[in-house]
Chains A and B, each alone.
Chain A
C-alpha cells in the first residue's frame, strides 16, 4: 500500500526506454519515501516480461496478460490501472509522456479525481506549506515541467489527492540497471476481472510503426543545424561533417519548420532530449526550447555568424563565421590530423 507505481509501456514485447528510465528514477524516489517500487505491465503474450523489469530494482511487478490488451487502446488499460490503484492506493504513479502515456494518464486521473502533471522533466521529493490553509505536507512529489510554451519552469504539487500522478518526458532521466538479479515479486492478475467488455469498443484495424531511422538519443557526437543553415542544400554540409565524425545529425525546430530536414531529427523540448559528449550547433540561435533539449551535452561548439546568439552563452567554443566557410575547414583538418 501507498507505494510508487510505474506503468510500463510495451511495444512488440519490449519495455519502452522511457518506462525503464522511470523505473530507475522511481527506485531512487521510493528510497527517499521509504516505500516499495511497483511496476504494471499490460499486454498480450507477456511471457518473461518481468525479466526486463525487475533488474531496475522493482519490488512488485503486476502483470496483466490477456487478449486484446495489445496494441494499446485507452479504455482497457485505463480500467486496469483505475481498478488496481483503487486496491493498492499508490502515493505516486508515473508514466511516460508519450502518445500512450498522455492518452492514458488523464483518463486514469479523471476517474480517480487525482491530479496529473504532464511532461515533467524533473521529479523531486520535498515539503510544501499551503499558505492559505496553513497546512504543511511532507514528502510530496515535486512535479517540475516547462510551462507557458517552454518559457518558464513550474513546480506542481498535489497536496491532498492520491495518487500524485505525472507523465515524464522520454530521455530526460537516466536508465540504469540496479541489480540484474534483483529479487522482486511477480503478481499475475486476471485482466478480465479488471475490465468490462464495453472497454473494447475501440478496435485497432491497421498499424504501421517504422523503426527510428536515427540514433540521436545514444549518439556520442551530434552535429545539429538550425535556421541559419539557410537551405535544404546547405544541410548537406551538416551531413558531411557528421559523416566524417561518425556523428548523428540533429536540428532545431526552426530548421524542421523551414522544411530543411525531417521532423524526427528535432532536438529540444518538443523533440528529442540529448546529452552527447560533443554537440556541434551549426547556425542555431538557441531558443530556450532548443537549449532545454541539449544543455547537458559535455562539450558544445557553436558555429554562428552572430556572436551574440543566445546559444553561445552555454557553448564551450564559439566560432563566429558561416557554415560554408567553417565546416569544410573542420572536415579538412580532421582528415589531416586524425590517424
Chain B
C-alpha cells in the first residue's frame, strides 16, 4: 500500500521570540523585524508524514503552503527533509484572508492536487493561534478530521489509528481514509535536513524568487535540465478560485481594533529579604486575614 500525503505548512513570523527591536515606538509590533520561520507544529506534522512514507514505500509527500513568493522557503525546507514536491499558493487576491478564506483557498488547491489519502498539518500557527484552518479545510472537502493528534499508530485495511490529546488525557481513535489530521506540538519533533537532499534542492526556486533575481540568476541552464528545481506556484486562477471567497472579500471577520496589553500598575511596597521586612510582611498578611 502506498499513500498520497499532503502536508499543510505555513511560514510565520516568530512570535515566540518578540524582542524589544520588534516593538515600534507606539508599542505595536513590527512584523518585518521578526524572522520568518517554518510554523513549529507544521514541522511536527511533516515528521508524521515522513514516517508514513518510511513505513509505506512508494508513498509521496506533497507540501502545500500559501503566502508571498518568499514562502517557497517552506517547500525547500520540506524537500530537504524528504518531501517529494510542493505547491505555493500565491496571489494578491489571497491577501488579508481570515481562517475561513484561508481554508477555502487551501481546499481548492487540494482539489486541484486531486488524489490524496492523508492531509496533515500542525494544530495551529503561532501567528494566529486559532487552530481553525485544519477543521475548516476538512469540512470544505467533506473529510473526517482528527485534531490534536500526537501519533499515528497504524494504518491497516484503509483505516488509520491515531492517538490524540484531549483535555485532561488522551484518546485513541480509528477512522477510514481519506482523513485530515492536525498534529499537536507534543508529537515527535521533525527530523533534521538530509545533507544529500540539501545538495539536490538548494538551488530550487519559486517563480517569484527566480524572477526577482532576473539576469543575475546563477546556473540558469540548471533549471531546464532539472525540472525539480522549479518550485510550482499557483494563482487563484490556477486553482479555479472564486474571488468572492478569497482574501479580504471572503473573510467574515474584521479586525476592529488592536491595542497593546496594558496592565494596571500598582503602587507597591518595596521590601528586602532581611528578617524584619519579611516578618512585618507576614504579620501584615495575617492581620488582614489574607493568610492564616
CA distance A75 to B256 in the complex (A): 32
B18 to chain A, nearest CB (A): 5
Say yes or no: is A44 at the interface (Cβ < 8 Å to chain B). no
By the criterion CB–CB under 8 Å, are B271 and A209 in contact?
A: no
Residue of A111, A114, A209 with highest tally of chain B CB at under 10 A: A209
By the criterion CB–CB under 8 Å, are A157 and B256 in contact?
A: yes
**8 A–B contact pairs at CB < 8 A?**
A107-B139, A151-B15, A151-B261, A156-B256, A204-B171, A204-B173, A300-B266, A333-B282
Say yes or no: is B175 at the interface (Cβ < 8 Å to chain A). yes
A222 to chain B, nearest CB (A): 12
Chain A contacts for B270, CB-based, 8 A: 307, 318, 320
Binds B, one of A21-29, A49-57, A227-235, A322-330: A322-330
Contact status of A315 and B144, CB under 8 A, knowing A147-B258, A206-B171: no
Contact status of A211 and B173, CB under 8 A, knowing A102-B147, A115-B253, A318-B268: no
Say yes or no: is B176 at the interface (Cβ < 8 Å to chain A). yes
Secondary structure class of chain B's binding surface, majority of residues: mixed
Chain B contacts for A158, CB-based, 8 A: 252-254
Contact status of A316 and B291, CB under 8 A, knowing A111-B139, A202-B144, A203-B175: no
- Sort chain A's interface into a size bin: 35 or more
Binds A, one of B2-10, B86-94, B159-167, B200-208: B159-167
A115 to chain B, nearest CB (A): 3
Q: Mark B154-197, 1 if CB is under 8 A from A, else 0.
A: 00000001000111111111111000000000000000000000
Contact status of A153 and B258, CB under 8 A, knowing A314-B265, A338-B292: yes
B248 to chain A, nearest CB (A): 10
Known contacts A110-B135, A202-B144; 7 further A-B pairs (Cβ under 8 A): A74-B146, A103-B135, A107-B136, A113-B252, A115-B98, A320-B273, A333-B278
Q: Mark A151-188, 1 if CB is under 8 A from B, else 0.
A: 11111111111000000000000000000000000000
By the criterion CB–CB under 8 Å, are B268 and A333 in contact?
A: no
A219 to chain B, nearest CB (A): 12
Give residues of chain B (234-269) contacting chain A, Cβ–Cβ below 8 Å. 251-261, 263-266, 268-269
Chain B contacts for A34, CB-based, 8 A: none
Contact status of A292 and B261, CB under 8 A, knowing A107-B145, A209-B169: yes
Say yes or no: is B36 at the interface (Cβ < 8 Å to chain A). no
Contact among B136, B169, B251, B271 with A106 in the assembled complex (CB-CB below 8 Å): B136
Contact among B98, B146, B272, B285 with A321 in the assembled complex (CB-CB below 8 Å): B272
Chain A contacts for B33, CB-based, 8 A: none
Chain B contacts for A252, CB-based, 8 A: none
